[in-house]
Amino acid sequence: MRPVSEIIRDIESAKDIVDGIKELAWKMGHGDRVREVAAALCDRPDYGPCVSHVALWLLTGARSAFLQDSNTLLMRTPELVEVVAFLRHTFPWLRRVTTYGRSHTAARKPRTDLQAVKDAGLDRIHIGLETGYDPLLAYMEKGCTARDHIEGGRRVKEAGISLCEYIMPGLGGKKMSESHARETAAVVNEIDPDHIRLRSLHVSPAISLWSRVETGEFQPQTEDEVVREIALFIQNLEVASHLKSDHTLNLLMEVQGQMPDDKEKCLGIIDRYLSLPDDERLNFQFGRRAGYYSSLADLADTHKHGTVDDALRRIRQSDVTIQEMLLRLKNTFI
């Protein structure tokens, strides 16, 4: 836990860098057009990482701020209020201030405390729900229950704070997939968050779950199985949330929209993918993971399609299987 005085100094340092970039812009004849100077400073490591980070922030508009890391709600409420209020005072043009939080913490935070943080200027909390299935929460040692998720999410919403819940397709493996999808949808329905974000599971050798994969205790799903699980999750949603699939580990990033209006559209995209012949689904999987495709429509690009087919042909002639290559590509994403 960092002291408030240290966080305040960080905010002040960021403001000093902003002021320095603005002053430099005037000296160089750009006036208040600071983005030109910010762009030049983004890739200047000789100025130090802080300068390049703030420059990148200015280049992208400097409209939002994110409080790191993992569970800011653990701070004592008066201290968190002080930090958020000072951040808002220092950068009055901010449109949104967000942070991470845990359901377990939010569920035990008095409603008046959450309201105080909201009044200080915190707009949104991102919570890693991941699953609403209690046996899976215990298996993954999440440290909370489905009831904690519901209570924590509801408290955030009751305080008037925008809520984003992260769901992890594939987390149940082959054994718990259906229960994971159905029970997670049930919990999300109870919360009705403003936003739902999909973050598909990928097990790499760098994480502890890998040892359970090696022993066969945990069996990861195939790409197609995860897609079917996402369909089951969406079918069971009864919310007014905005669903987003905005992470490169998600195979079908175009599966997104406002629920319930866009539910059928999302399910239609999934059906379109699953109805493809086996070789076309494999072509799309590799094309997505290798960066050639961003959506199913890219399959119609004959040049991209041929490039992917050529790559698959070369892999088949090598000592590496296509599935091993797909895993290698996904390992680079996390």
In the chain, where are the structural domains located? 1-62, 63-275, 284-334
Which of 95, 97, 118, 88 has the alpha carbon at shortest distance from 106? 118
Chosen CATH of 63-275 out of 1.25.40.10, 3.60.15.10, 3.30.70.3450, 3.30.750.200: 3.30.750.200
Given a cut of 80, whether residue 48 has pLDDT beyond it is: no
pLDDT of 98: 97
- C-alpha distances (whole Å) from 187 to each of 73, 79, 239, 246, 256 are 21, 31, 11, 21, 19
pLDDT of 96: 97
Which of 268, 255, 243 has the alpha carbon at shortest distance from 295? 255
pLDDT of 27: 84
End-to-end Cα separation, the chain, in angstroms? 26
pLDDT by residue (tens digit) across 135-162?
999 999 999 999 999 999 999 999 999 9
* Half-sphere exposure for 145 (CA within 13 Å, toward CB): 4
Given a cut of 90, whether residue 31 has pLDDT beyond it is: no
The confidence band for 121, taking pLDDT boundaries of 50, 70 and 90, is very high
Per-residue pLDDT, averaged over 168-197, amounts to: 98
More confident residue, 230 or 36: 230
Q: What is the mean pLDDT of the chain?
A: 95
* Residue 97 · residue 87 · CB < 8 Å: yes
The confidence band for 73, taking pLDDT boundaries of 50, 70 and 90, is very high
Q: Which two tokens stand for residue 39?
A: 């762009």
Within 10 A of 325 (CB to CB), how many other CB atoms are there? Answer: 17
pLDDT of 46: 76
Given a cut of 90, whether residue 92 has pLDDT beyond it is: yes
Per-residue pLDDT, averaged over 44-59, amounts to: 86
